[in-house]
Structure 1
Amino acid sequence: MTTATSPRALEHPPRDRIRLEAVLHALSDPVRLRIVRDMAREGTELSCSYFDLPVTKSTTTHHFRVLRESGVIQQMYRGTAKLNALRGEDLDALFPGLLDTVLAAADAQAARTEGAA
């Protein structure tokens, strides 16, 4: 990926530096998993303001940073908006089926939780 060369450039791990334990850690948090589920469902780049999360703005920033630094998402600036995209191709190349399996399990869990409410 890229190393930061300007204040608006964000560092991302290159594909060969993405570690399974970092990805699993990033996906283990319910808020971060919700972000990833939303991104997968929409299938396009989303601005940070798209997400309506039950945490403060600073905590939201932390969650996006964990996702970016683990290699789960890529963030880039377009004008004044910071856009987020899943690195599905990179994750599938390194850990085939992992993201799809995690997302399917999260969807099944959400359905069970909603059914019990």
Structure 2
Amino acid sequence: YNVVIVEGAGGLLVPIKKINGKIFTYLDLIKALDVPVIIVAKSTLGTINHTVLTVRALKNEGVYIKGIIMNKYPQNPDWVVKTNPEVIKEMTGIDKIIKIPYLEDISEDIKRKVMLLV
């Protein structure tokens, strides 16, 4: 396969299982697989904090971040949501931030935008 997606639901430090008495997390899995990461973040209030913390944790572990997807981005965002991508970009240094609206069906245009990260 050209692309394999490994989803880490809930965050980097969510436990997957215990191995030899040590809790194995999604961050451990990412490091074991030695794969780049695309962060999928909410577009709501609070996303700056959890997204920047995620980026810092990944960078501290030497994980390459390909970009960030701002998921379920509203058609008419309020000023908080509207400024989130730029603030995250400034605080993390990650230039590739894609805003994806809530969709019932994913269009070819959206698929192309996401594939640019891959």
Tell which structure's C-alpha radius of gyration is larger.
2
TM-score normalized by the length of structure 2: 0.26
TM-score normalized by the length of structure 1: 0.26
Instruction: Determine which structure has the larger strand proportion and give its number.
Output: 2
Instruction: Determine which structure has the larger helix proportion and give its number.
Output: 1
User: Which structure is richer in relative contact order (CA contacts within 8 A, separation 6 or more)?
Assistant: 1
